[in-house]
Chains A and B, each alone.
Chain A
Amino acid sequence: MATIAMGHAGAEAAYAGKRGLWSWITTVDHKRIGILYGVTAFLFFLLGGVEALLLRWQLGAPDKTFLSPEVYNQLFTMHGTTMIFLGVMPLSAMFFNYFIPLQIGARDVAFPRLNAYSYWVFLFGGLVLNASFLFNAAPDMGWFAYANLTSRQYSPGLNVDFWIIGLQILGIASLAAAVNFFVTIINLRAPGMKMMRMPMFVWMSLITQVLLLLAFPIITVALVLLMLDRNFGTHFFVPSGGGDPVLWQHLFWLFGHPEVYILILPAFGVVSEILPVFSRKPLFGYAAMVFSGCFIAFLGFGVWSHHMFSTGMGPMADTVFSLGTMLIAIPTGVKIFNWIGTVWGGSIQFKTPMYFALGFVAMFIIGGLSGVMHASPPADLQQTDSYFIVAHFHYVLFGGSIFALTAGAYYWFPKMTGRMLSEALGKVHFWLMFLGFNLTFAPMHILGLNGMPRRVYTYSADMGFGFWNAVETAGSLILGLSFLVFIVNILKTLRRGAVAPADPWHGATLEWSIPSPPQEWNFAVEPTVEGRDPLWELQRTRGALPEPTRVSGKGIHLPSPSYWPIVTAFGTALTLVGFLMHVTLGVIVAGVAITMLGIFAWAFEPADH
């Protein structure tokens, strides 16, 4: 098993010698894995965006026949599933991978090969999920897959099966990564980096890993039970056999609610990095930010049935979940006030990352306000299953997570690539995205309160929904355009963008103390940390720091590349695919055999070879 041994004479790790496809397939370097996650996730995100544009085109006017209801159902299900599992989560994983080791002063994560394994399993899971399109059997029952629509009786095709297997594969990737990052953050911090000196991004990431570890097992079981019902004849969710469809909802949302905190906490962390740097002020209320994050995560496990107010749980249950949901607004409010307090009185640098970070704060507040409105069961009985809910979660997930992740992309792009993105194009991107986003999602509040239901492929002209739907469709096109601007910015910059120094933003955290992009071993000398915002501390005592030089890396031992992670990942995915169409025993046996071969070879592979 690889642990990072520093100062141990070993193979010289010259980064320049590692080029080509094979070097990427066998990489165990957290920075490369981060880039793999980021590129893959961005492509899936664009796919999810195309799915959304198709939906919006269909809904742009009443009674359109651009998409049949069957195709519409597949598109909205895949849009949601893709954006959550193949978009936001792996985009966050890109930042976990690239920046957690850098921010804590480590050379890599605790288990580099496990890290690679997680990425490959994620890729295979995303491919399996989307392979469903090739069979014209993309999941079509909503990303939450309520029983008993998902029973074999009512969903006889492979759609639900693809969803089950795809998510199981993705779940394994998430769990493996969560173990890795949790252990990394707890155990691999540089000397002097006490827990309460960690960057806020690391703290939020740590809490996210805990949520992953506790929530994913629940959906794993739920998916197993559903698969057993569909392929093996059990009746867990089938009323005729004594089963309970509402049990699915409980299991799903016990996972599903922590999942939304998994989606937003990394975003909170990114914004908590950016606002201080671009206000030239430390984060306001560090301890409160830590504890509110912990409290949000803890409470997040106690509110799942606020997704089930219309299932008739009774007044006691409704009240308990309502109160819990309202309670979460408190630590969330603490964070928002602390972000405002950070910016207040600061020397604001109006650069692109700051635009997106400030945009995040504003949009997330709006999303949070509609969220707290859903917390009241009687109000929610009107709002549930309407576009009011769609408005809420897009404000928090797009206005929240995506704005924040975009902010992070602009913030950290110079570090990852050694080039500065264009500020001009960045600002065009921001304004187009801000405009497009609000045009697309703000009217959904109105439509929802006027009674437009969710998950409908069309509506008749006399409903009065036509105008705002048209506005939303126009907004979605502007949103799409904004992403084109982003892509152009990235491509132009990669070709001949301005070279980035180590610290273009006057950052506070350790990643800005090393060259852009970092050398493979990250730090020439393991840093010692004396407080929060280590770079600002250093600059306070020593003045401006010189541009770090690139060193030869002689004597720095790094874990060797390996192909066993991708082999084992393939075996894992193959095993699960064997359950896709009933039980294809040969495929399962082959998958298990390859997995076991991979594990044994991995375990006995020397750490350096």
Chain B
Amino acid sequence: MAHATAHAMHPPTATGLDTRKLAIWTFIGSECLFFATLISNYLVFKGKSLVGPLPHEASQCVLHGQMTTCEPIFEIPLVTFGTAVLLFSSFFVVLALNGAQHGNRKRLIGWLSATVVCGLFFIGMQVYEFRHFYHKGLGFTTNLFGSSFYTLTGFHGTHVTIGVIWLATLLVLAIRGKIPAEKSLNLELAALYWHFVDVVWIVIFPVVYLMR
């Protein structure tokens, strides 16, 4: 699949894989355990909150010291849209990479910009969501749901933010013409990280938002 002409500077590797690409995959493997632990933590505490607000409807729930029926705090349509945006951003970065590999500067810059915009939109959606939850009474320490939810999605959001910064930096480089076909690997590394961040969300979204 790789098209970038191998520069003579890089000696042959024992596996034939690029060393930096192998490193990103290794890092991603490790990060899988990181998110697996956070998701497990969320699941361990699922249904164990002593008080509300709660993620989905509950006929028995303590809210402001009162036993009541709790409304779901999740806004599934908004998050579904944000999820779709993030998923499309992974597609866009692939298109950008394709542009880079073929030396097509316009395609690279266009689709990379789209990726960054989508990433920013996703972060914006999360910030809005968190503020909304906070106003509805779900603080970080309100209950176990709040603590585990904000921790999990907060770390994911941080990873998204780092990805956006990385991609934005590459975008600036691309605009300056510093990502020719031979250097497309630089983008590919960021794209792999970006896909990982997306895949983690693909797990979080059903486990946290959809599963009851």
Residues of B contacting A221 in the complex (Cβ-Cβ under 8 angstroms): 34, 37-38, 41
Q: Known contacts being A187-B13, A217-B37, is A242 close to B143, with CB within 8 Å?
A: yes
Q: Known contacts being A3-B19, A242-B143, is A218 close to B33, with CB within 8 Å?
A: yes
Closest A residue to B145 by beta carbon equals A242
Residues of A contacting B27 in the complex (Cβ-Cβ under 8 angstroms): 179
Residues of B contacting A214 in the complex (Cβ-Cβ under 8 angstroms): 29-30, 33
Residues of A contacting B37 in the complex (Cβ-Cβ under 8 angstroms): 217-218, 220-222, 251, 254
Q: Which of B9, B17, B31 contacts A5 (CB 8 A)?
A: B9
* Highest count of chain B CB atoms <10 Å: which of A186, A221, A251: A221
- Stretch from B45-53, B114-122, B127-135, B204-212 contacting the other chain: B45-53
Q: Which of B23, B29, B147 contacts A110 (CB 8 A)?
A: B23
Asked if B26 is an interface residue, CB under 8 A from chain A, the answer is yes
A179, B31: Cβ atoms closer than 8 Å:
no
Q: Known contacts being A4-B11, A242-B50, is A236 close to B41, with CB within 8 Å?
A: yes
Residues of B contacting A385 in the complex (Cβ-Cβ under 8 angstroms): none
Asked if B67 is an interface residue, CB under 8 A from chain A, the answer is no
Residues of B contacting A193 in the complex (Cβ-Cβ under 8 angstroms): 14
Closest B residue to A251 by beta carbon equals B37
Asked if B74 is an interface residue, CB under 8 A from chain A, the answer is no
- Give the Cβ gap from B176 to chain A, nearest Cβ, in Å: 12
Closest A residue to B14 by beta carbon equals A189
A243, B34: Cβ atoms closer than 8 Å:
no
Closest A residue to B169 by beta carbon equals A600
Q: Known contacts being A183-B19, A217-B33, A217-B34, is A5 close to B26, with CB within 8 Å?
A: no
Q: Known contacts being A8-B9, A187-B19, A243-B144, is A217 close to B44, with CB within 8 Å?
A: no
A5, B11: Cβ atoms closer than 8 Å:
yes
Closest B residue to A250 by beta carbon equals B44
CB contacts under 8 Å to B, within A209-226, are: 213-218, 220-222, 224-225
A110, B19: Cβ atoms closer than 8 Å:
yes
Residues of B contacting A389 in the complex (Cβ-Cβ under 8 angstroms): none
**Contact code string B141-159 (vs A, CB < 8 Å = 1, else 0):** 1011001100100000000
How far is A225 from B42 in the complex, measured between Cα atoms in Å? 11
B10, A5: Cβ atoms closer than 8 Å:
yes
How far is A283 from B202 in the complex, measured between Cα atoms in Å? 47
How far is A228 from B15 in the complex, measured between Cα atoms in Å? 42
Residues of A contacting B147 in the complex (Cβ-Cβ under 8 angstroms): 228, 234-236
Interface residues on B, range: 35 or more
Asked if A188 is an interface residue, CB under 8 A from chain B, the answer is yes
B31, A217: Cβ atoms closer than 8 Å:
yes
Q: Which of B10, B22, B41, B141 contacts A225 (CB 8 A)?
A: B41
Asked if A99 is an interface residue, CB under 8 A from chain B, the answer is no
Asked if B106 is an interface residue, CB under 8 A from chain A, the answer is no
Closest B residue to A213 by beta carbon equals B30
How far is A221 from B152 in the complex, measured between Cα atoms in Å? 10
How far is A13 from B138 in the complex, measured between Cα atoms in Å? 60
Residues of A contacting B148 in the complex (Cβ-Cβ under 8 angstroms): 236
Asked if B140 is an interface residue, CB under 8 A from chain A, the answer is yes
Closest A residue to B165 by beta carbon equals A596
- Give the Cβ gap from B92 to chain A, nearest Cβ, in Å: 23
How far is A236 from B143 in the complex, measured between Cα atoms in Å? 10
A241, B14: Cβ atoms closer than 8 Å:
no
Residues of A contacting B30 in the complex (Cβ-Cβ under 8 angstroms): 175, 178-179, 213-214, 216-217
A241, B144: Cβ atoms closer than 8 Å:
yes
Closest A residue to B44 by beta carbon equals A247
CB contacts under 8 Å to A, within B180-205, are: none
How far is A596 from B30 in the complex, measured between Cα atoms in Å? 22
Asked if B20 is an interface residue, CB under 8 A from chain A, the answer is yes
Residues of B contacting A188 in the complex (Cβ-Cβ under 8 angstroms): 13-14, 19
Asked if A111 is an interface residue, CB under 8 A from chain B, the answer is yes
How far is A111 from B27 in the complex, measured between Cα atoms in Å? 13
Asked if A233 is an interface residue, CB under 8 A from chain B, the answer is yes
Closest B residue to A596 by beta carbon equals B165
Asked if A6 is an interface residue, CB under 8 A from chain B, the answer is yes
Closest A residue to B38 by beta carbon equals A221
Residues of B contacting A241 in the complex (Cβ-Cβ under 8 angstroms): 50, 143-144
A234, B140: Cβ atoms closer than 8 Å:
yes
Q: Known contacts being A234-B141, A236-B147, A242-B144, is A179 close to B23, with CB within 8 Å?
A: yes
Asked if A232 is an interface residue, CB under 8 A from chain B, the answer is yes
Q: Can you name 25 A-B residue pairings with CB atoms under 8 Å?
A: A3-B11, A3-B20, A6-B11, A110-B19, A178-B30, A183-B19, A186-B14, A187-B14, A187-B22, A188-B19, A213-B26, A217-B33, A217-B34, A217-B37, A220-B34, A221-B37, A221-B41, A222-B37, A232-B141, A233-B140, A234-B151, A235-B147, A236-B148, A241-B144, A243-B144
Chain A residues near B (Cβ < 8 Å) = 1, 3-6, 8, 110-111, 175, 178-180, 182-183, 186-189, 193, 213-218, 220-222, 224-225, 228, 232-236, 241-244, 247, 251, 254, 600
Nearest 10 pairs between A and B by C-beta? A217-B34, A217-B33, A234-B147, A233-B141, A221-B37, A189-B14, A213-B30, A187-B13, A242-B50, A183-B23
